[in-house]
Amino acid sequence: MRFTALLLLLLTLIPAAHADDGHAALHRLFAEEWERGLRESPENAAYNGDMRFNDRWSDLSLKAIADSEAADRAAMARLHAIDRKALSAQDQLHYDTFEWLLNKDIERQPFREYLMPMTHQGGVQTADGITELLAFSTEKDYRDWLARMDALPVLIEQTLALMREGVRSGRTPPKAIMTRVPAQIAAQLVTDPEKSGFFAPFKRYPESFTDAQRAALSKEARTLITGKIVPAYARLGEYFNAEYLPATRSSIAATDLPDGKAYYDLLARYYTTTALSADEIHGIGLKEVARIRARMEAVKAETGFKGSLPEFFSFLRSDPRFFYTSPEALLEGYQAMSKRIDPELVKVFGVLPRLTYGVRAIPASIAPDTTTAYYQGGATDGTRPGYYYVNLYKPEVRPKWEMLPLSLHEAVPGHHFQFARGMELPEMPMFRRTAYFVAYGEGWGLYAEQLGYDMGLYDDPYDRMGQLTYEMWRAVRLVVDTGMHAKGWTRQQAIDYFKANAPKTDQDIVNEIDRYIGTPGQALAYKIGQLKISELRARAQGRLGARFNLRAFHDEVLGTGSVPLDTLEKHMDAWIAAQAAQ
């Protein structure tokens, strides 16, 4: 009897030990791959608040890129060596999420995206922008930045090598968007080093620094800018203007790249986290445009405007009452809008993130060529808040009626809630706390715009038109992105379609279309993600009836962390079933 009991005890312990071994191996893989990611991308490390690599840039040499791709494949082999079935349900979710991300990275390798290292929205020509992420509080912080400045010519040479290989292999970006880049490079060719973006940190020393420290650091910065940085950018400009720009492709479609159709199909799957085809996404977009347009007609009638919908759009784009007259007033307007939203959040959330956020202007060097606003997440250790960046370039094209849905999307309860809540899930491995599935993240952002109704914020018909405009904007994206990249649409055709269906200003429309050209497929994620979250909410309401708790629903969606849409659906279906069973 004693032997039998002991044998039975050992048999029950063996699976548990095996599961523990799998758990340990899995989380060791997660930790090591997280560390590798930080080491390979010092810029991403800084974004996450890890400043250990602040004296260097990413290595963009072809050897380093090949080594990184090989490491991805090795990580996948390590993952598949772990018995998924022996893992806990939570670890299986982590396993599946990690596998999805790694698999998409490996699937993208043959398309050699790194051979197009610059876009009109960023690249080595805007490298000084990383100062927005860095803290300059100690002499080491400044010394690290000086080391980065000293290494910039190497980064530029690596970028040039990638561009030359891109030209040789037929992998170049569209000329239509790259014509914006020469001005960005020219902005770095300063004659006064103190006017360089790289010098900005040396204009704001901590009070504790002595005059001698300040003088020595500033002198070294001026020497590097004049002697190394400006000449390196001059070499970049000479090659870009004389050789690269003429060699960029005249077409705008991703399908015109080598293996372009397979590439765009992959991007559509990657960004939407679905198996939807370009034709299916195009059809969804057309249907949504028609539905939202009908709602716009109703709001137009509510305002008392007597003209047609296109005439109403022109009125919204041009009437002075809808615009601030200075960048300063526009920034104050955004700050006031955030203060208006904050107190209402408790109506729709039970859990509010601890991390704070602020409102900042988009740097003037990139504002003319970038979007209306964007969000920058806080540091993972909570040492840097999140920031809602707003575009103050040409306030006369930034209408007041778009500020409410934009703030709901980019700040609270949109991206700030999503990123901050993710970072405040300590039981998750780091890659899960910081993962960004675009369909989940941007789908949540677009869904968050509509929460203004639940919070009682859309009390003005022009604000409601703003919400519909922003929803229409994302529906239009489904049509024009697939149109340009899979159906032969021209850039002008896409601009015209956008303008016919939304009162966004011309400046924004052109910048948006160029963004879709430069980042194929990314724009598909927003509406697809929002439709899924809205579908899940309707499902929960239908199943739970009077017991449906909106605050609990939102807390659970954000508490899931960023995942593919089918994973979110399975998780929320289980949550709905558990709520129904209580």
Q: For residue range 201-216, list pLDDT tens digits in order.
A: 999 999 999 999 999 9
pLDDT at 52: 95
Give Cα separations from 202 to 72, 143, 198, 225, 228 (angstroms).
Answer: 39, 11, 9, 12, 17
> Phi first, then psi: what are they for 358, rounded to 5°?
-130, 170
Dihedral Cα 67, 69, 72, 76, nearest 10 deg: -120
201 residue type, one letter: P
Dihedral Cα 278, 283, 285, 291, nearest 10 deg: -170
What token pair was written down for 411?
A: 């700040």
pLDDT at 427: 82
Does an H or E element contain 339, and which? helix 327-341
Average pLDDT over all residues of the chain: 94
pLDDT of 4 above 50 = no
Asked if residues 433 and 48 have their Cβ atoms less than 8 Å apart, the reply is no
Percent of the chain's residues with pLDDT above 70:
97
Distance (Å, whole) CA 197 – CA 345: 37
Distance (Å, whole) CA 447 – CA 523: 15
- What average pLDDT does range 355-362 have in this prediction? 95
Asked if residues 254 and 263 have their Cβ atoms less than 8 Å apart, the reply is yes
Bridge partner residues of 402 (DSSP): none
Predicted confidence band at 8 (pLDDT cuts at 50, 70, 90)?
A: very low
pLDDT tens for each residue of 287-303: 999 999 999 999 999 99
pLDDT tens for each residue of 392-429: 999 999 999 999 999 999 999 999 999 999 999 878 99
pLDDT at 5: 43
Predicted confidence band at 20 (pLDDT cuts at 50, 70, 90)?
A: low
Count of all residues that appear for the chain in the document: 582
- What average pLDDT does range 43-72 have in this prediction? 96
Residue carrying structure tokens 């420290």: 213
- What average pLDDT does range 377-388 have in this prediction? 90
- The angle, 0 to 180 degrees and rounded to 10, between the axes of the packed helices 2-40 and 62-80 is 160
- What average pLDDT does range 155-176 have in this prediction? 98
pLDDT at 437: 96
Asked if residues 335 and 359 have their Cβ atoms less than 8 Å apart, the reply is yes
Distance (Å, whole) CA 506 – CA 503: 9
478 residue type, one letter: L
26 residue type, one letter: L
pLDDT tens for each residue of 463-511: 999 999 999 999 999 999 999 999 999 999 999 999 999 999 999 899 9
pLDDT of 330 above 50 = yes
pLDDT tens for each residue of 181-236: 999 999 999 999 999 999 999 999 999 999 999 999 999 999 999 999 999 999 99
pLDDT tens for each residue of 512-533: 999 999 999 999 999 999 999 9
pLDDT of 390 above 80 = yes
Give me the DSSP letters along 428-465: S-HHHHH---HHHHHHHHHHHHHHHHHTT---SHHHHH
